[in-house]
Amino acid sequence: MSTALDQWIARIKSRDPLVYEDAFHDQWPDDPALIERLVTEMHAAEDAYTRGKFIELLGETGHEGVIDHLVRELGDPRGDVRQWAVKALAAIGGPDVGELLARHRLAHPEDLDPTA
């Protein structure tokens, strides 16, 4: 039996951008396992496109508990994954995150967010 969280995750994983955007903008499942599930899905995603979706979602949660997971994504060899991590961390914000992102941008100017 699939839960509302499972159904939402399936929509998030869709390759159809409209399905993903609808899921992203719909009400997110009220499930205590949401953060843990997003982290698990991010780590399980092998392609940068799907991984980026879950990185974005983690940033949108604003949950400080995901910062360490996102910081590890700054070390991904794929530039687009690192850029998603920069955006997600910026969405969470805070002085420590700001300092970390400033150091990352100095070391990796190729990861600058052109919309920032």
CATH assignment of the domain containing 92: 1.25.10.10
Residue 90 domain flag: yes
Residue 116 domain flag: no
Q: CB-based contacts of 84: which residues, under 8 Å, 6+ apart?
A: 51, 52, 55, 56, 73
Residue 89 domain flag: yes
The predicted structure's pLDDT at residue 111: 79
pTM: 0.89
- Cα torsion 15, 19, 25, 29: sign: negative
Residue 66 domain flag: yes
Q: CB-based contacts of 8: which residues, under 8 Å, 6+ apart?
A: 23, 26, 28, 29
Per-residue pLDDT of the chain (116 residues; tens, 9 = 90+): 679 999 999 999 999 999 999 999 999 999 999 999 999 999 999 999 999 999 999 999 999 999 999 999 999 999 999 999 999 999 999 989 999 999 998 888 887 655 54
Residue 53 domain flag: yes
Say how many domains are in the chain.
1
Q: Give the DSSP H/E element, type plus range, for residue 83.
A: helix 79-92
Structure token pair of residue 58: 């983690």
Domain assignment of residue 54, given as a range: 4-111
